[in-house]
Structure 1
Amino acid sequence: MKIKEVDEAKKIIKELFEELYDEKSINFSIENSYNQVVFSDIISSIDLPPFNRSLMDGFAVKSEDTFRASDESPKILKCIDSIEAGSFSEKTIDNGECIEISTGAPIPDGADAIAMVEFTERKTDEETGNDNIHILKSVAPKQYLAIKGSDMKKDKLILKSKTILSPDKIGVLAGQGIKEIKAFKKPTVAIISTGNELVMNDEEISYGKIYDVNTYSITNATISNGGYGKSYGIVKDNYDDLKEKIESALKTSDIVVCSGGTSAGVGDVLRHVLDEIGEVIIHGVSVKPGKPTIIGKVNEKLVIGLPGNPVSALIIFYVFIVPNLRNLVGLSEEIIEKAIATLAKRIHSPKGRMHYSLVQIKEGLAYPIVKDSGAITSLADADGYIKIPKTTEILEEGKEVEITLFK
């Protein structure tokens, strides 16, 4: 293995993503657009509201007809029509007239304000039989009106590219009558676990076997960071089987991620498979855990070899793959959640290699999880990981650290 430094490996992987993958879009109905990422700016096609509308139940009036109105000296107006939400009146209000109106209904011609129903009284004129409305409180021009376009003007920016669609944002699109949005297309990531000792969680476990962890953790890390994770199951430590599985996965996926089979030991065959069907770009990174990481290229697609140990596999995936995956689907690397905490205990780190150490957060303190990289209980305890530079051998208790969260 020709070991790469962490920064060099990150640079190579970033350049490979840029070389091999373009940002692509796909259309979604807004009903199915939750959590999708907007591909290009969305511009309003109509004014909101699309007409002058009432903000209150009451009466549409000429505001000048209500000046100095009070309980003791009400202004009396003739009611000439009634408008429910969803309908409109063809009548025009003249001085001394009003129209009964519901919240959300269009303002009739001639009106410039709404007198709230709470400050009116309806009385019938005994001589004419007409409804007369007694206005008990004056209103100002445009009072309780929503003016056309006051919320949003036509041809204005609604949502920027790379906005994540949440329920409130989807509601805004629905208010514009938008049926379909263009979102970033998510790459499909095939996940393959290798190892004679592995069984899936729906199989019977026997002596010498262990349940596969990486299929589930890497699949869900892919989903939570913008991709589609697709499990291809377990492959034994067999050259032909692994080769066949990778070639099959490449036909239906954009990226293939294998866990296990990356070190130089007996039975670790991924390197040899990649040498035959493609090329190995990186084999070995100066990092703990995860030194035997492999980055290969086959048919203009990436094939990534993660260590078999669950902790190593997840950390390497987050450190080297997740930032590029997020960028590809319009999610900024900075959106990855981080937290600041104070180190609760001293950590010893191997000098000469970048070290990523799992920690648990409790009441603002970061507790190091000191277990080997095959201990899956450390994943149950971990909230995230911290980065320790290769020149640092000891992080003292009480030091403030930045934690990348597994979210």
Structure 2
Amino acid sequence: MNEMISPEDARELVLSLVHPLDKETVPVLDAVGRVAAEPLASDIDIAPFAHAAMDGFALHGASIAHAAPDAPVQLRVIAEEPAGSVYEGPIAADECVRIMTGAPLPADADAVVKYEIVDVVEGDGKVGSTVAFTAPTKDRSNVREAGEEAKAGEVVVRPGEVISSAGVGFLASCGVMEVPTYRRPRVAIIATGSELVPPTEVPTPGKIRNSNSYAMAALAREAGGIADIFPIVKDTFDDLAAAVRAAVADHDFVVTTGGAANGDFDFIKGVIGQLGDLRMTTVNMRPGKAQAFGLVEGVPVFGLPGNPAAAYVGFQTLIRPALRKMQGYTHFDHTKVRARLTRDMKKKDARRIYLRSTLEKDAEGYRVTPAKNQSSGLFGVIQRSNCLAIMPEGLDAKKAGDEVDCLLLDIPEELIL
């Protein structure tokens, strides 16, 4: 069980033990960013009627078939049709109707000529005016047809689609006001350490503020989960076991920080093993070699290291994909790009190293600058980073100009570059 596995194997192990949660129905506005769990269909044609795509004049295209700059065709404006109204009368060959964007195309017209290219000969362009056309128009020009985007009964959002803000508007136009989606996972966040005090306290000698719980809760929220921060747990087996038991009773995923290594006060591996099924203890990565994972009463429990950067990298690479799978997403990996290092990087550890870095783009492509201070105890460096530059396994150093893979942390996994 103490065998060190690759980050890829660790990721697949975690993903293999989680599944989409049960479905819930939410108001369409609350569905933005979430995954549709069932097909969603329109109750009407979209658009429900043929209408003008822009302000102009509705007419018979044949009326201006021979129009030219030196032989303009003049028509009388017999009516005006703003959006929300309907013109139901006839339109003769020498007539046209002034029409506004969104207004239904008159039944006796087959095209719309936009206002800007029509000359006003007499009047103000409204009813009673005479206007001139200097070019023919195509059949159905500037007309949005009925059912152009969707037909009544047609599925407009398929299961598995992530609903965007535009999708919310589309669904509203289709009469879909409630969306079946997958329930957001409730994530218990438990920080362990007798040295920890709440952030509201000024630490006394030997104490530090509990920042991990807040960072992990924020990461859980970013991944779409609902985070619950538990009270700080002292470094005892019984206290940690009691906290884990309480967490798995009403949560879908449990994340602990601290106590994941093999020290005298590191208990998460033993707790998972005693209460459930311990599946993983170490991963070939830095920071974050010590990663405990297993199931307790069927609930995934993940023990992250206590060092902030190690906990952060472990969450981004192993826990975030699992939380996304539980919500029905199908893209789990951060987008990866190749970028040129801006400085030499030595390598004294054979593990895969994730460097907190800043990615930029220039005329030659992407360039990446690893932070000078890569201490695993720092959150500030991560705040100022936008990617993780990867130094692969082995001891090969990299020079400025060499390309490395970079995981982008601030864009959706669905985006492919």
Q: Is 1:55–1:146's contact at 8 Å kept on the other side of the alignment? A: yes
CA pair 89-370 structure 1, distance change in 2 beyond 3 A: closer
Kindly state the Cα deviation for residue 9 of structure 1 after the two structures are TM-superposed: 3.5
CA pair 190-114 structure 1, distance change in 2 beyond 3 A: same
- Residue 281 (1) aligns with residue 283 (2): no
User: 1:374 — aligned with what?
Assistant: 377
User: 2:326 — aligned with what?
Assistant: 328
User: 1:350 — aligned with what?
Assistant: 349
User: 1:2 — aligned with what?
Assistant: 2
CA distance in 2, matches of 1:355, 1:38: 36
Question: Which amino acid in structure 1 is aligned with residue 387 of structure 2?
Answer: G
TM-score by length of 2: 0.83
Q: Is 1:122–1:133's contact at 8 Å kept on the other side of the alignment? A: yes
**Larger displacement relative to structure 2 (51-60 or 355-364):** 355-364
User: 1:397 — aligned with what?
Assistant: 399
TM-score by length of 1: 0.85
Question: Which amino acid in structure 2 is aligned with residue 397 of structure 1?
Answer: K
Tell me, what secondary structure is at the counterpart of 2:181?
Answer: strand
Of 100, 108, 111, the residue aligned with 1:110 is: 108
Pairing 1:143-292 to 2, within 5 Å after superposition: 143-156=141-154, 158-292=156-290
User: 1:16 — aligned with what?
Assistant: 17
CA distance in 2, matches of 1:191, 1:307: 13
Of 368, 380, 386, the residue aligned with 1:365 is: 368
**Larger displacement relative to structure 2 (65-74 or 180-189):** 65-74
Unaligned runs of 5+ in 1: 125-129
Tell me, what secondary structure is at the counterpart of 1:317?
Answer: helix
Tell me, what secondary structure is at the counterpart of 2:245?
Answer: helix
CA pair 195-72 structure 1, distance change in 2 beyond 3 A: same
CA distance in 2, matches of 1:65, 1:354: 73
CA pair 358-309 structure 1, distance change in 2 beyond 3 A: same
Tell me, what secondary structure is at the counterpart of 1:318?
Answer: helix
User: 1:127 — aligned with what?
Assistant: none
Q: Give the aligned length.
A: 396
CA distance in 2, matches of 1:26, 1:12: 27
CA shift digits 1:35-80 (9 cap, x unpaired): 223334444443332212123434432233334457876534472x
User: 2:52 — aligned with what?
Assistant: 54
Tell me, what secondary structure is at the counterpart of 2:279?
Answer: strand
- Residue 91 (1) aligns with residue 89 (2): yes
Q: Is 1:261–1:308's contact at 8 Å kept on the other side of the alignment? A: yes
Q: Is 1:369–1:382's contact at 8 Å kept on the other side of the alignment? A: no
Q: Is 2:38–2:158's contact at 8 Å kept on the other side of the alignment? A: yes
CA pair 287-99 structure 1, distance change in 2 beyond 3 A: closer
CA pair 379-76 structure 1, distance change in 2 beyond 3 A: closer
Kindly state the Cα deviation for residue 333 of structure 1 after the two structures are TM-superposed: 4.0
Unaligned runs of 5+ in 2: 362-366, 411-417
Q: Is 1:28–1:182's contact at 8 Å kept on the other side of the alignment? A: yes
Kindly state the Cα deviation for residue 232 of structure 1 after the two structures are TM-superposed: 1.5
**Could you say what the CA RMSD is over the residues aligned between the two structures, in angstroms?**
3.0
Identical amino acids, percent of aligned pairs: 27
CA pair 78-209 structure 1, distance change in 2 beyond 3 A: closer
Q: Is 1:61–1:111's contact at 8 Å kept on the other side of the alignment? A: yes
Q: Is 2:190–2:229's contact at 8 Å kept on the other side of the alignment? A: yes
CA pair 49-307 structure 1, distance change in 2 beyond 3 A: same
Q: Is 1:199–1:211's contact at 8 Å kept on the other side of the alignment? A: yes
Tell me, what secondary structure is at the counterpart of 2:231?
Answer: strand
Kindly state the Cα deviation for residue 136 of structure 1 after the two structures are TM-superposed: 4.1
Question: Which amino acid in structure 2 is aligned with residue 291 of structure 1?
Answer: K
CA pair 34-9 structure 1, distance change in 2 beyond 3 A: closer
- Residue 339 (1) aligns with residue 337 (2): yes
- Residue 131 (1) aligns with residue 134 (2): no
Tell me, what secondary structure is at the counterpart of 1:293?
Answer: strand
CA pair 54-9 structure 1, distance change in 2 beyond 3 A: closer
CA shift digits 1:103-133 (9 cap, x unpaired): 2211222222235554344559xxxxx9364
CA distance in 2, matches of 1:176, 1:314: 41
Question: Which amino acid in structure 1 is aligned with residue 188 of structure 2?
Answer: A
* Structure number, greater radius of gyration: 1
